[in-house]
A and B are shown apart, each in its own frame.
Chain A
């Protein structure tokens, strides 16, 4: 038996290192020089593979699955939050900052176990506060999207 999580981690690092090294081999070298843009990524790739092997070896030596210190995991909210970030990235330009932010806030309040009323309140207040700070004070050009006709 071995610690499966360490074996997975080790293999992932080895795969990442191998992929980096393969891509780096395609980088052009400057005439006559033995080293170019590929040298540093190759060193890093070797390091990734070596540490991956080290972690895998640790897992093998551990001989069992070490218990989780955090206790139970809830995958739903986790995936939900990732989806909220992806939604924000996709919706920011077409819908505009205010709408995208309000929807993101409402959804994430619900994902963290908050109620509809609290979520709606935060979704209404949050974007306005951030608008004041970033758009009005710091002059960051936040996209207006659908609200462009009523931009203030």
Chain B
């Protein structure tokens, strides 16, 4: 009976339509160089405001899954990854496309993405209820440590050097501390602006940090390479060739799918890091490592599987602990909070239907993606000819009006401007944006639990270690901090330059 209700909920026409439209939207945005998957979600958020929670989450899921795949389209055709997650195997994809097999390559990555996504959802659906049962016994002490641990992990695995990741995180926490405080209700850093009493509104903040910052970066660099003439193979050949490649590499797909899901589940490590690691592992285990980087399907299959598996994996900490695994789930948590739902262990008992429908929607999105992604591949060369001078202004106006729609006040546009400029300056200073987003989302959670625990312990910091689980989490967090300090010292000594390249795109 329960299964019937669930299937009815998943296959509800309105939900299916939302998923279909969002996969098309995700293919479009993901394929555009300069528009990332996170930006696609940030622009989608104003619309989710008008949806019910399941529909909103399904929309986010469908958009991300397809956008991460579609990043391969411009990667293969222009050698410009549409999203950072496609960067790992862009050389292979482009070399194959130039050798006259653009469609085969893209169908390989589409199939790999879909299978990777499905592996990710299956792992997600089987692991999260178990984890939630453990997490449901947590008090404010454990909640504080867990949120802090999540934030610290984000610093640990993020792309840039430790001081830069920390700087980003603290900028996010600083943004989160604007507004009425939790302890006594005193307005902080509001500068007399009434609209700021509730804090810096989340949606304008995300739009500013992701969409506007990206537009500004596009404004100051010159127009990217244009799409040249490309010979395209017939659809039937491409499909058969792609399926053949996938069938040959079952083991690699399984390995990268499982690995990608785990990497995605680490706070701060998203689809891009999963793809890099899967590609490196694939190369090491390959019988023909010398072919990698010169147009080899193996790396594309493994990287493409891993980045979409990571999209699902990132939802594990988000759902179970309320700690986002990447920027997209950070935005999703913000959306759920806006809808009055608090992600965390209790959501599995209080809104079990929502969680199960979410898993169902995830599966459906990964299947529907094959159709939408296939259409995007067929239309790829047209898609990439949309001039930037028309695309960017449209995104700009959509950003401003989306932010305004949520707050109903011009303050939203000013927030978009301010945080857009901040996001731009951060990339200029080689500071990544993702940890800041975690800071914005988790700031209030960390402070709430910190203050509650402080009051319980009457200001005695050892109280944070009183309960068994809290003590373990506390010690693990402190150990991570120790490692971070050690790494920071090492990076400072070496000038911190070696890792700065990765911070450019988040």
Contacts and interface: CB of A to CB of B under 8 A. Distances in A.
A41 B180 CA distance: 12
B389 A113 contact: yes
A64 to B, nearest CB: 9
Interface in A103-147: 104-105, 108-109, 111-114, 118, 122, 126-127, 130, 134, 138, 140-142
Given A81-B216, A92-B413, A114-B387, A55 B393 contact: no
B240 interface: no
Interface residues of B, number: 73
B166 A130 contact: no
Interface stretch (B57-65, B296-304, B314-322, B414-422): B414-422
B220 A109 contact: no
B227 to A, nearest CB: 17
A110 to B, nearest CB: 8
A79 B186 CA distance: 36
B405 interface: yes
A113 to B, nearest CB: 5
B195 interface: no
Contacts of B413: 85, 88-89, 92
A5 B497 CA distance: 12
A89 B413 CA distance: 6
Contacts of A71: 221-222
A28 B184 contact: yes
A58 B491 contact: yes
A34 B50 CA distance: 43
B471 interface: no
B171 A48 contact: yes
A69 B501 contact: yes
A54 to B, nearest CB: 3
Given A9-B431, A13-B167, A35-B459, A74 B222 contact: yes
Nearest to A49: B170
Interface in B171-200: 171, 173-174, 177, 181, 183-184, 186, 188-189
Interface residues of A, number: 77
B342 interface: no
A138 B220 CA distance: 34
A95 B495 CA distance: 52
B447 interface: yes
A152 to B, nearest CB: 18
Give the secondary structure class of B's interface.
Answer: helix
Q: Of B170, B405, B428, B491, which is in contact with the most chain A CB atoms at under 10 Å from its CB?
A: B170
A41 to B, nearest CB: 5
Contacts of B396: 81, 84-85, 104, 108
B221 A70 contact: yes
Contact of B390 (A35, A114, A140): A114
Contacts of A112: 218-219, 388-389, 392-393
A100 to B, nearest CB: 9
A33 interface: yes
A148 B505 CA distance: 43
A50 interface: yes
B463 to A, nearest CB: 13
Nearest to B410: A89
Nearest to A105: B393
B450 interface: yes
B17 interface: no
A20 B392 CA distance: 35
Contacts of B387: 114, 118
Contacts of B492: 54, 57-58, 61
B269 interface: no
B163 interface: yes
Given A78-B220, A112-B219, A61 B173 contact: no
Interface string B478-491: 00000000001001
Given A23-B189, A41-B188, A138-B405, A52 B389 contact: no
Contact of B389 (A39, A50, A70, A114): A114
B500 interface: yes
B223 A113 contact: yes
Q: Of B217, B430, B488, which is in contact with the most chain A CB atoms at under 10 Å from its CB?
A: B430
A20 B176 CA distance: 13
A80 interface: yes
Contacts of B281: none
Contact of A58 (B161, B183, B219): B161
21 contacts: A5-B428, A8-B429, A9-B430, A36-B183, A40-B451, A44-B170, A44-B173, A47-B170, A51-B166, A55-B429, A58-B492, A58-B495, A61-B492, A80-B219, A85-B420, A114-B387, A118-B390, A130-B398, A138-B405, A140-B404, A142-B401
Question: Can you list the 7 inter-chain pairs with the closest CB atoms, starting with the nearest?
Answer: A54-B163, A114-B389, A58-B496, A37-B181, A62-B495, A108-B393, A51-B167
